[in-house]
């Protein structure tokens, strides 16, 4: 099997997953901002301050979500390409290093912002990221299996 074609197909699948994930994040943020801005209830300055603070929290959460999604997608692409091109040991080392970096970044974000809402949203983000990674891995495995099957079918049928 031509590993460069498979790697290109994997990259295309991962890019589609990233685009869909980011669109979902943007839609959720827009909905949250609309709901939060509708929760003011009055025209006084205190309600505007509450809405502004809530909007700032939403922006921070969105930035964290986008960073986590992008990091996960980059990790998946790198791991898949490394699996197709180089030894398995290199892949294990890269995965361990990236996981450590992501955990450190999440700990720094959570510890620097001691806000229950941010922690809850980070938990949701982690769950969403895990689901996205599982979906990407399943799609990649299916893609690799299909490519492998057609390669062997073609090889044995024509030779």
pLDDT class for 23, splitting at 50, 70, 90?
A: confident
User: Quick check: is 14 in a domain?
Assistant: yes
How far is it, in rounded angstroms, from Cα 82 to Cα 59?
A: 34
Within-domain flag for 119: yes
What is the model's pLDDT at position 45? 53
Is residue 83 situated within a structural domain? yes
Cβ count near 59 (within 10 Å): 12
Asked if pLDDT for residue 110 goes beyond 60, the answer is no
**Neighbouring C-alpha atoms within 13 Å toward the C-beta of 150:** 7
Where are the extended beta strands (E) located within the chain? Answer: none
User: In terms of pLDDT, which residue wins out, 143 or 78?
Assistant: 143
Residue 146 has pLDDT above 70, yes or no: yes
Would residue 44 count as lying in a domain?
no
Question: Domain for residue 143, yes or no?
Answer: yes
Residues spanned by the domain of 136:
3-37+51-158
Over residues 118-138, the mean pLDDT reads 73
Cβ proximity of 74 and 129 under 8 Å? no
Determine contact, residues 1/148, Cβ cutoff 8 Å.
yes
Helix (H) or strand (E) holding 88: helix 88-112
- Residue 43 forms part of a structural domain: no
Six-digit token string for 98: 């990236």
Question: For residue 136, is it within any domain?
Answer: yes
- pLDDT digit string (tens) for 24-66? 667 766 666 666 666 555 555 556 666 666 666 666 666 666 7
Total domains in the chain come to 1
φ/ψ bin of 114: left (φ > 0), alpha (ψ from -120 to 50), beta (otherwise): beta
Q: Within 10 Å of residue 102's Cβ, how many Cβ atoms?
A: 17
């Amino acid at each position: 099997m031509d590993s460069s074609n498979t790697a290109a197909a994997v990259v295309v699948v991962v890019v589609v997953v990233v685009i869909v994930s980011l669109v979902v994040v943007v839609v959720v943020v827009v909905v949250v901002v609309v709901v939060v801005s509708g929760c003011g209830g009055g025209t006084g300055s205190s309600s505007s301050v509450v809405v502004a603070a809530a909007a700032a929290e939403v922006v921070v959460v969105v930035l964290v979500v986008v960073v986590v999604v992008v990091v996960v997608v980059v990790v998946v692409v790198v791991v898949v390409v490394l699996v197709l091109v180089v030894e398995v040991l290199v892949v294990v080392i890269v995965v361990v290093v990236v996981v450590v970096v992501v955990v450190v970044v999440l700990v720094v974000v959570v510890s620097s912002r001691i806000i229950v809402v941010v922690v809850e949203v980070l938990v949701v983000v982690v769950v969403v990221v895990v689901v996205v990674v599982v979906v990407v891995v399943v799609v990649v495995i299916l893609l690799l299996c299909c490519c492998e099957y057609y390669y062997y079918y073609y090889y044995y049928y024509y030779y």
